[in-house]
Amino acid sequence: MSPAEAPDTSLLRARRDRASRSWDVRAGTVLIPSGAPLPIDGTDQVHDYHAHPEHAYLSGSREPSSVLAFDPVEGWVLFAPASTLEERVWTNAAPSRERLQVETGVEDIRTIEALVPWLELRRGNAVAVLGNADFIDHPERYRLPDLRALELSVDEGETERLRQLVSEQRRAKDPPELARMRAAASASVAGHLSGIGLARAGMSERQYQIEIESEFFRNGGSRTAYGSIVGGGPNGAVLHFSPTSRQFRDGDIVLVDAAAEVGGYASDVTRTFPIGPRFEGLQADLYDLVLATQQRAIEAAGPGVEYKDLHMAAAEQIAGGLADLGILRGTPSDLVDADAHALFFPHGLGHMIGLSTHDAGGCLAGRQPSDRFGLKYLRADLPLAPGYVVTIEPGIYFIDALLTDSERRDRYRDMVDWDRVDKLRGFGGIRIEDDILITETGTENLSGDLPSERSAIESLRAQALANG
Ligand code: GLY
């Protein structure tokens, strides 16, 4: 365990106290299952497992098949599996009760089997189920028998109310969380720096993935935060492109959205770079536009600022820049009112980040998500506050699926220079993304050690190519 991952049990207790006080549950039971690894058929192994963030945040444990439970009389109990002999032979042993106590600060730790009699004693109580709801339909994943005999009545309204309160609590990161996020961002920066130096024409997206991920791990990453996205040339236009055997070619730009996780906490970093020593022609113009948009959004971010306002300003900046380049036609505000910018910038400005890549975001209580073309992937609609960490990741892409869609071509007939755009299919995409901590007075860029200025990226590429 790295120093960034050391548990702070007094803080974990304070998190639980704060949650239970805010819930104000007078009667009833709260269950927060961790989730469980899914078996891979035909092997005796399991898919990569990630503990549910609500469970990890409140318990401090990321062990699978566990349930953190709360009731207003008994307080907190952690039900966790003890390992079987077979597991001790074939895989890892589950932590002992003593180790879990040290790591979580929960006094009352019981084996998972004890959850059934615990629930039996509360028969008839309304139950809120946060965490991973797989527990209700798949108790076998928790080594529990069919729970139907307990007649659990899950109160969906209460579940939603408590979940909203936990999300609000989880948004501002505390110092141990920030230590992990800084460590994750720093491993990600090391990986991207190494990757930008290693990329060559003839290298495949898959090879690049292997190089950058190995550098994450060499620099303390415990996991990748999400499936690495590596798109060379036209593949950069697919927002979440999984690396293939396609080899980088001279003239390509490469979009790499990949990052490390440390102690359960994600970072999320994207850079776009040329395979040659510099961005050429429109590549450079669009890179500068995306970078200027990102920089302005980071400068404008801070406590009290509405994230949606940052998104709308970025959309206007991109629309205006595309109009200046003759790709869109109209004023920035008319283009954004019509969502025309979303043909080229079809995602939100970013999202909150923490125990998941898309963490505890959503809408401030009382607000509703929008299904507008230009807004439906905005993953946070709330005012920023100190301790929040958000990504700021504008992008411009030439996406076949959108640009060949007849309904959109018709709708934006007069707002797009379609002849020009049709010639640009295959261009790929440009995204630049950093992890921004909101402070009392402004922001801190957690991934800011990774250059993003065009001249800096070009000089890294020129140096790399000069080294052979
Ligand atoms: N960077 C990957 C994601 O936001 O899902």
Last residue of a domain, one of 170, 188, 221: 170
Ligand 1 centre distance from Cα of residue 341 (Å): 20
Give residue 3's pLDDT.
67
My answer on whether 212 and 230 are in the same domain is yes
Last residue of a domain, one of 123, 146, 170: 170
List the CATH number of the domain containing 296: 3.90.230.10
Ligand 1 atom closest to the CA of 257, numbered from 1: 1
My answer on whether 365 and 241 are in the same domain is yes
Mean pLDDT by 10 residues, the chain (468 residues): 77 96 90 95 91 97 96 95 85 85 95 95 91 91 90 91 95 96 98 98 98 98 97 98 98 98 97 98 98 98 98 98 98 98 98 96 89 91 97 98 97 98 97 98 98 98 94
Ligand 1 centre distance from Cα of residue 124 (Å): 41
The finding on whether 377 has its CB within 6 A of some atom of ligand 1 is no
Ligand 1 centre distance from Cα of residue 275 (Å): 23
My answer on whether 78 and 181 are in the same domain is no
Q: Give how many domains the chain has, as a whole number.
A: 2
**Best CA proximity match to 293, nearest among 257, 339, 344:** 344
Ligand 1 centre distance from Cα of residue 264 (Å): 16
Give residue 44's pLDDT.
85
The finding on whether 226 has its CB within 6 A of some atom of ligand 1 is yes
* Domain hosting residue 65, numbered range: 3-170
Ligand 1 centre distance from Cα of residue 268 (Å): 7
My answer on whether 85 and 197 are in the same domain is no
Give residue 153's pLDDT.
86
- Token output for 275: 């395979």
My answer on whether 239 and 125 are in the same domain is no
Last residue of a domain, one of 116, 146, 170: 170
Asked whether the CA dihedral 109, 113, 118, 124 is positive or negative, the reply is positive
Pairing, β 75-80 against β 109-111? parallel
My answer on whether 158 and 99 are in the same domain is yes
The finding on whether 268 has its CB within 6 A of some atom of ligand 1 is yes
Please state the length of the chain: 468
My answer on whether 17 and 163 are in the same domain is yes
Give residue 88's pLDDT.
83
Ligand 1 centre distance from Cα of residue 225 (Å): 9
Give residue 286's pLDDT.
98
Give residue 443's pLDDT.
98
My answer on whether 191 and 265 are in the same domain is yes
My answer on whether 14 and 140 are in the same domain is yes
Q: Are 12 and 104 in contact (CB under 8 A)?
A: yes
Which residue's alpha carbon is at the smallest distance from atom 3 of ligand 1? Answer: 357
My answer on whether 147 and 180 are in the same domain is no
The finding on whether 257 has its CB within 6 A of some atom of ligand 1 is yes
List the CATH number of the domain containing 115: 3.40.350.10
Give residue 149's pLDDT.
87
My answer on whether 91 and 206 are in the same domain is no
Give residue 328's pLDDT.
98
My answer on whether 299 and 324 are in the same domain is yes
Give the list of residues 6+ apart from residue 215 with CB closer than 8 angstroms, or none.
187, 190, 191, 194, 195
